[in-house]
Amino acid sequence: MIRINSDFSFIRSYEARGCSLNVERGLDLKILSGIQPSGSLHLGNYLAMMKPMISYMNRSELYVFIVNYHAMTSVSDGKKLAEGTLDVASDFLALGLDPEKCFFWVQSDVPEVTELTWILTCITPMGLLERCHSYKDKIAKGISPNHGLFAYPVLMAADILLYQANIVPVGKDQKQHIEVTRDIAIKFNSMYGDTFVVPEGEINDDVATVPGVDGQKMSKSYDNTIEIFLDEKALKKKVMSIKTDSTPVDEPKDPENCNLFQIYRHFAPNDRVQEVNRLYLEGGAAYGTLKKELVGILWDYFKDSRETKTRLMQDPGYIKTVLARGAEKARAIAASTLKDVRSKVGLNY
């Protein structure tokens, strides 16, 4: 049983809906989230998923994993996928995830997830998947869809349900996938009896959609990212390329609609954010100066993690050992859920 701070927004949202979580009593919640090793991780990934997950470490039962099966829907270069997996693992460790205090593993090291995916696939209506925005958006962008892309939300549901997670912290783009997971869990439970926890998504409005340098959602797929770990020259280039408008320095500007401010405000000290916010509203905010300042802020913000990451990347054996131990722990839980599911659906004869 772990005590959870009452500043967690998911607790407020549970309470708002009249649910019976009692913060004073202490909570026994499982928090789970995954990330694709489909490219270098960026500030949007950090703010919406990695930072909150790492902050939950001492306060709940935490499950963090690298979803390499999901990444296969877009990465077909095996070497790139393998290297990307170790890269993401080292990012998490460098940013402070302590593998002794959580479950930290690679999705494909727990093959039970693929069996559960098939079982769930057989109760998932086609219409549910056909309505998924992320699938429809990719088709609209001209990506020729493979079956993996279509079935992606069922694999994600299996990821979540296999570990009986209560809370899934993600960015806004994953909201619909969590709803699909809930629909699948509710349907399974009504067909076969109470089996799965019906999870809640945890989306923090403040970082729901972090903009990229072009103002669209920052995403590995849009070539608009600022990666967490860049060398100083590359970081400078990325930050200086953040798109801003041509309002003169002295004129008032809207901080809410400025990509630069929407990144800046997450990393600068609070009092400086207030000051810059005032400059936007009253006039005096100079984009070029703020961009240079942001380069320095980001460089310092990730300094210690950057050094740890460099060390870790020189020791892939250590990362692999950590992941293998994590998979072993996660697999014990996955096997127990799957045993129950197999028996309920009639695979034990």
For ligand ADP, the binding residue among 93, 178, 218, 290 (CB under 6 A) is: 218
Q: Which amino acid is at 131?
A: R
Q: Which residues of 275-309 are buried (b: 16+ CB within 10 A; e: fewer)?
A: ebbebbeeeebebeebbebbbebbbebbeebbebb
Candidates 102-110, 115-123, 210-218, 326-334: pick the segment binding ligand ADP (CB under 6 A). 210-218
Shortest distance, position 303 Cβ to ligand ADP, whole Å:
23
Q: Does 33 bind ligand TRP (CB under 6 A)?
A: yes
Please report the DSSP string for 142-169 in residue order: TPPPPHHHHHHHHHHHHHHHHTT-SEEE
Q: Does 48 bind ligand ADP (CB under 6 A)?
A: yes
217 is catalytic: yes
- State the binding partner of 168 from ligand TRP, ligand ADP, none, CB within 5 to 8 A by kind: ligand TRP
175 is catalytic: no
- State the binding partner of 60 from ligand TRP, ligand ADP, none, CB within 5 to 8 A by kind: none
CA distances from 53 to 50, 83, 96, 129, 294 (A): 5, 23, 10, 27, 24
Which spans in 104-227 are helix H?
Answer: 112-121, 126-130, 133-140, 147-162, 175-192
Q: Does 36 bind ligand ADP (CB under 6 A)?
A: yes
Dihedral (C-alpha) 69, 71, 75, 77: value to the nearest 10 degrees?
-50
Secondary element (H or E) of residue 345 = helix 316-345
Q: Does 108 bind ligand TRP (CB under 6 A)?
A: no
Q: Does 309 bind ligand TRP (CB under 6 A)?
A: no
- State the binding partner of 70 from ligand ADP, ligand TRP, none, CB within 5 to 8 A by kind: ligand TRP
Q: Which amino acid is at 103?
A: F
For ligand TRP, the binding residue among 156, 167, 319, 334 (CB under 6 A) is: 156
Shortest distance, position 148 Cβ to ligand TRP, whole Å:
12
233 is catalytic: no
Q: How distant is the alpha carbon of residue 28 from its chain centre?
A: 22
Question: Is residue 67 classed as helix, strand or coil in its secondary structure?
Answer: coil
First-last CA distance in the chain: 37
Shortest distance, position 223 Cβ to ligand ADP, whole Å:
11
Q: How distant is the alpha carbon of residue 17 from its chain centre?
A: 25
What residue number has its CB nearest to ligand TRP? 34
For ligand ADP, the binding residue among 68, 107, 166, 219 (CB under 6 A) is: 219
Q: Does 200 bind ligand TRP (CB under 6 A)?
A: no
Task: Give the separation between CA 94 and CA 107, rounded to whole angstroms.
Answer: 20
Task: Give the separation between CA 332 and CA 330, rounded to whole angstroms.
Answer: 5
Q: Does 31 bind ligand TRP (CB under 6 A)?
A: no
Q: Which amino acid is at 237?
A: K
Binding to ligand ADP, residues 71-130 (CB under 6 A): none
Query: Could you tell me if 200 and 167 are in contact, meaning their C-beta atoms sit under 8 angstroms apart?
Result: yes
Shortest distance, position 127 Cβ to ligand TRP, whole Å:
20
Q: Which of 51, 220, 291, 309 is catalytic?
A: 220
Q: Does 265 bind ligand ADP (CB under 6 A)?
A: no
Tell me the catalytic residues. 138, 217, 220
Give the interface with ligand ADP as residue ranges (CB under 6 A): 35-36, 38, 44-45, 48-49, 170-171, 173-174, 207, 209-210, 217-221
Give the interface with ligand TRP as residue ranges (CB under 6 A): 32-34, 36, 67, 70, 156, 159-160, 168, 170, 174, 177
